[in-house]
Each structure stands twice: as C-alpha cells, then as structure tokens.
Amino acid sequence: MPDLSFVFAQSLSGLTAAMFLFLIASGLSLIFGVLRVLNFAHGTFYMLGAYSAYQIVQWLGTGPVTFWVAALGAATGVALLGGIVERFLFQRLYGKEELYQLLFTYALVLILSDVARIIWGTQQKSVGRPPGLTGAVSVFGATIPDYNLFIILLGPAIALGFWYVLQRTRIGRFIRAAALDRETLGALGVNVRALYTGVFMLASFLGGLGGALISPMRAIVPGMDTEVIVEAFVVVVIGGLGSFWGTFLGALIYGQVLSFGILFFPRFSIFSIFALMAAVLIVRPWGLLGRPLK
C-alpha cells in the first residue's frame, strides 16, 4: 500500500500535467468548435512557443522578470504567426472535408518543424525556472515544487477567465454564435472572417503559452509537437470536441489516469489512457460533455 503522502504527490503531479494539457487542448477544441477545422499543427505552435521562450531568455539574459517576458512574448509571437497562417492558408480550408484539413495541417507540421530545426538545431534546449518559483513547499507530507503549484493554480484561473469571456462578453456571444451558424451571423453584419482570425490567434496564443510555460520542466527538442498533439487529441476526444468544460474534464482525467497508471501499472500506463478513450468513444462517441455533430 503506497504512502498517502506519496499518493497525494502523485495526484498533484497528474494535476500539473493536466493543466498543461488543458492549455494546449483548449486551443485545439476552440478551433474545432468554432472553425470546424481539425488543426493537427496546433502542437507545432506549442513547440514554437517553447523554442521562442528559450530564444527570448537567451537575448534578455537572467533577470527577475525575464522568464515572464519571454513566456508572454513567445505566446504573442505564436499568436501573430497563427493569425498569418489562418488569414492566408486556413481560410481556404473552411467547408472542406476533414481529410483535406488533416493533410494540409500535417504538411504545415512538417514545414514548421524543419524551420525550427534550421533555426535551433537538433540539440535539446532548456530554460531555468523563474526566480521566486525555484523552491518547494511541503503539503500533507508531500514536497511540491513552487512552479508546479503555480501551474495548478494558473489552469483553473485561465479556465474561469475563458468561461467569462465566452459567456459574459459581447465577443464571447459572437464566438458562440459563429460556432452555431456563421452565415446568419455574417448576415447580421458581423465580420466573420476577422472573428475567425481572432479565434485562431487566441487558440495559437494558448498553445504557445503552454509551450513557453512547460519549457522549465521539459527539454525543448524537435518532435515534442507530435507527442503533445496526440495527448491533446485524446483529451478533447474524452471530453468532447468543441466543449470547453469537456476539455477541462478530459485533461483532469488524462492527468490522473496517466499519473496513477505509472504508479500502479507502469507497463500499462499509456495503454490505460487509450483504453479509456476507446471506452468513451464506444459509449459516447461525441465525448463526455460534447454534443453529437449534426
């Protein structure tokens, strides 16, 4: 029987992983929910966010706010790149079959990955933890890094902010209306093309921010994008494509199943995740909190 403090620490570890996945998967789910595009390149925006944060830290050097400037700068840069990609490339995909979308976004993954290799090489990069979050605290006998606690608190804060914007603001009402009927929204005078670009930039920002924030915890290497996009797809499939709170729930489930799977069934931890996804697809093909596509 594992020690309770160890189980608690394992649960927090799964929660930390879940919050990172939520940041990335929420952008993926937002793009599908509003634009109806399966963006396989979303993981590449996450990778570019990590590389950009590393690059900005190299330019600015060490300082009390260097990491935070790098994280926000990297996420903003990725959002601008996302806006350009959506404006000049993705707008040609709307209304096309999913196969074309997947092939196009996969080609984008290959192109951007090669660009990253040319700029940063193939050696792994790393970013130090920000000053003030390099220590650890003891909670119920478990030692928890300060940075992990920050991520655990940041995830729900972003989720609540996201929910407020979508449910309580004018732009949020436009986004929800665009997800239901873009033609009617356009007929009412709303600039749907600009709205789509804004949504894509917001989703890219979340992906880039996730990559920047994970850079102090994981090595930055080529290929990290394909690994995370598979995890993000599993999260949105479990929670429900296009469902914001479904994505949050899916990320929580993924993090806990993976964390305790490693603890109790180390040889089958990944299997348990995909077995869960398969069970959800059989029982509710549209995800736990999603809705059937019409």
Q: How confident is the model at residue 242 (pLDDT cuts 50, 70, 90)?
A: confident
Q: What token pair was written down for 164?
A: 């407020």
CA–CA–CA angle 280, 250, 128 (5° rounding) = 145
Handedness of CA 100, 103, 107, 112 (dihedral sign): positive
**Is residue 204's pLDDT more than 80?**
yes
Strand partners, 136: 145
Rounded to an integer, the average pLDDT of 262-274 is 80
Would you say 286 and 240 are in contact if contact means Cβ atoms under 8 Å apart? Answer: yes
pLDDT at res. 227: 87
**Is residue 255's pLDDT more than 80?**
yes
CA of 225: how far to CAs of 87, 110, 291, in Å?
Answer: 22, 10, 28
Residues in contact with 232: Cβ distance below 8 Å, sequence separation at least 6, in sequence order = 21, 24, 25, 28, 42, 43
Which of 29-38, 101-110, 271-280 has the weakest average pLDDT?
29-38
* pLDDT single digits (tens) 81-140: 999 999 998 888 877 787 888 889 899 999 999 999 999 999 999 999 999 898 998 888
Dump strand ranges (E) for the chain: 136-139, 142-145
Rounded to an integer, the average pLDDT of 225-237 is 90
Residue type, position 107, single letter: A
pLDDT at res. 234: 92
| 237 vs 141: CA distance, rounded Å | 35
Tokens 């979050």 belong to 133
| 255 vs 273: CA distance, rounded Å | 9
pLDDT at res. 114: 93
Q: What rounded mean pLDDT belongs to the chain?
A: 89
Among 46, 97, 36, which Cα is nearest to 293's? 36
Q: How confident is the model at residue 262 (pLDDT cuts 50, 70, 90)?
A: confident
DSSP 8-state symbol, 288: S
| 36 CB neighbour count, 10 Å cutoff | 18
What is the pTM (predicted TM-score) of this model? 0.91
Q: How confident is the model at residue 293 (pLDDT cuts 50, 70, 90)?
A: low
**Is residue 62's pLDDT more than 70?**
yes
Q: How confident is the model at residue 55 (pLDDT cuts 50, 70, 90)?
A: very high
pLDDT at res. 294: 58
Give CA 100 to chain center in angstroms. Answer: 23
